[in-house]
Amino acid sequence: MTQHTASWPVAGWAKHYNSQVLMNDLVAAIIVAIMLIPQSLAYAMLAGLPPEVGLYASIFPLIAYALLGTSSTLSVGPVAITSLMTAAALAEVAEQGTGTYLSGAITLAALSGVMLLAFGVLRLGFLANFLSHTVVSAFITASAIIIALSQVRHLLGVEAGGDNVFELLHGIGLHASDTNFFTLSIGAGVLLFLFAVRARGARVLSGLGLSTHSAELVAKAAPVAGVMVTILFVVGLGLAERDVEIVGAIPSGLPAFAMPVFSMELAQALFIPAALISIIGYVESISVGRTLGARKRERVNSNRELIGLGAANLASAFSGALPVTGGFSRSVVNFDAGAATQAASIYTAILIALVSLFLTPLLYYLPKATLAATIIVAVLSLIDLSIIKKTWRFSRGDWLAVMITMLVTLGFGVETGVSCGVLTSLGLHLYRTSQPHIAEVGLVEGTEHFRNVRRYKVRTVPEILTLRVDESLFFANASYLEDQVFKQIYHHDPITHVVLMCSAVNEIDYSALEVLEELNRQLREQGLFLHLSEVKGPVLDRLRGTEFMEHLTGCIYLSQHQAYSDLCKRYRY
């Protein structure tokens, strides 16, 4: 298994670099660059920023992550979800097209970079585990629907805005009569082309003699063909004079790598949105990195990833661009194209830099409808409505969290939606841990195993109540355990001994210790004995020397079978 143990991850792959790896990385870089150029332009447009900003966000950030990131194939840059979140955040502080709007995007990137770096230094990568995967899926699905609807106005060539589904639908309906036929023809044509290539492109190319792998990679470059053909149409038919919106002049040259202008007022206004962008960006990136890493038997270090992504966002800020993160589609293409190391990202950055230097004049007549179609096709693959049905069947709690997150995002916008998603994830975690599974267990005849009395045919003794606690005990759930013990006692009159089977208890905090002491005291006053079984060594070490151990009315048994056998002898069973 590949592991990055060097202080700089780049040192892990640089020392084994050779000509064969170089060729693999170069091929992957060319393919990813071809895919990334239209995507970068499109996502800058989605964020409400000039198109060159998307190119700037795809140069130095790639190099920064390549030097510090731990995934050999993750490709960073602007992505749909964070671009939409950027647009939603900036809409609250500035008008599109103003200097303040661009400064806001740079500030978001800088704040995200600082936050991610701080989280990495403090080794807080584990915090991403508290964001439920089902909630993230719900948020991404709802956001993808909003993104797709937000691009319909570019397909129609009308002015219609909005931050949520209702505002977008209202705006589109209000201005639908102003649709530009030529713009619609271009947008619809590119949409049909991209969908057709996605559905049958690889198969057609394979029929022409390409290998299956090569055909799939060439098909993924279809957006570039759409860009080239629609530019020719606009120029050849003079569609710019027919009110077809085009990208216009894109400045040639590399980004001016300089210290961002800092505004305390802007930083305060964008602090919370930057935190949310950081969270969602990191979760998306680490998910992609780990998925691809598993296919290469490669370990992706969550804390190092925070540092890599933080450096990438700071590099984006210094480039005058927007927040970036690891993108799913481009990372998969990078992997499938045979990228062996992060050098592929460095080569990709160099190729995009060359495009920025020499080829941007060729994009002058690129229709915005083409970019809108590219975005729509890209984000539709993110929509996963099956999560609703799956969670309904498996867990109603998860289903409720999915529905809340999805409906809030659709109805109130991405900022409110992601905030709701984070709170819902935490609420779901706290609810589940505050009510741990506690089962009454009995002996399976002919064995030394104890199982839930409601699921198995087991042997029990009226005077002995054994409860298996399936969770560590801490301040949030200790009282629940106490309630369950007395609930069982009040339903079973002959009980004299209560045994807590602690095989799943990995920790007991001080609040839980106090509850156990109170439980022991109350049971003693009622003439009942409290016993513990299968207590883990570290937990037992912490209990030793406490008042609880000094006043425990019963015993601590090595195994549940030992406790059961010993107590049964007292009643001659």
66 and 146 belong to one structural domain: yes
Asked if residue 447 and residue 415 are part of one domain, the reply reads: no
User: Of residues 564 and 261, which shows the higher confidence score?
Assistant: 564
The predicted model gives 440-450 an average pLDDT of 94
Task: Decide which of 401, 427, 453 is a domain's last residue.
Answer: 427
Residue 160 CA to residue 173 CA, distance in Å, equals 9
Q: How many CB atoms lie within 10 A of CB 373?
A: 28
Lowest model confidence (mean pLDDT) among 53-57, 105-109, 250-254, 515-519: 250-254
Q: What pLDDT does 426 receive? A: 84
From CA 154, how far away is CA 131, in angstroms rounded?
34
Q: Is residue 186 part of a domain?
A: yes
Predicted local confidence at residue 42, as pLDDT: 93
Is residue 105 scored above 60 in pLDDT? Answer: yes
What pTM was computed for the model? 0.82
Instruction: Select from 379, 401, 427 the last residue of a domain.
Output: 427
Q: Give me the pLDDT at residue 572, please.
A: 62
Residue 246: strand, helix, or coil: strand
Q: Are residues 387 and 466 in the same domain?
A: no
- For residue 95, tell me if it sits in a domain: yes
Mean pLDDT of the chain: 90
For residue 546, what is the domain's CATH number? Answer: 3.30.750.24
Residue 546, pLDDT > 60, answer yes
Mean pLDDT, rounded, for 316-328: 94
Locus of tokens 């084994």: 16
The reply to whether 4 falls in a domain is: no
For 166-225, how does the pLDDT look when each residue is reduced to its tens digit (9 = 90+)? 999 999 999 899 999 999 999 999 999 999 998 888 888 888 888 887 888 788 778 889
Q: Which of 264, 323, 273, 321 is nearest to 91 (CA)?
A: 273
Q: How far apart are CA 402 and CA 80, in angstroms?
A: 20
Q: 274-278, 340-344, 448-452, 505-509 — which is least confidently predicted?
A: 340-344
Residue 141 lies in a domain: yes
Is 433 within the bounds of a domain? no
Q: Using an 8 Å Cβ cutoff, are 322 and 102 in contact?
A: no
Q: Is residue 432 part of a domain?
A: no
- Domain co-membership, 188 together with 316: yes
Q: What is the pLDDT of residue 7?
A: 61
CB 572 within 8 A of CB 463: no
pLDDT at position 302 over 90: no
Q: Which percentage of the chain shows pLDDT scores above 90?
A: 64
Supply the range of the domain harboring residue 237. Answer: 9-427
* Residue 129 counted as domain residue: yes
Cα–Cα distances in Å, from 464 out to 445, 450, 500, 561, 570?
17, 13, 11, 13, 11
**Residue 394 confidence (pLDDT) above 60:** yes
SS3 call for 452: strand
pLDDT at 3: 44
Q: Identify whether residues 393 and 452 lie together within a single domain.
A: no
Residue 387 belongs to a domain:
yes
Clarify whether residues 348 and 273 are in a common domain.
yes
Final residue in a domain of this structure, among 380, 403, 427: 427
Burial of 188-202, coded b for 16+ CB within 10 Å and e otherwise, reads ebbbebbbebeeebb
From the CB of residue 408, how many other CB atoms can be counted at a distance below 10 Å?
Answer: 23
Q: Are residues 169 and 201 in the same domain?
A: yes
* Two tokens, residue 148: 């797709």
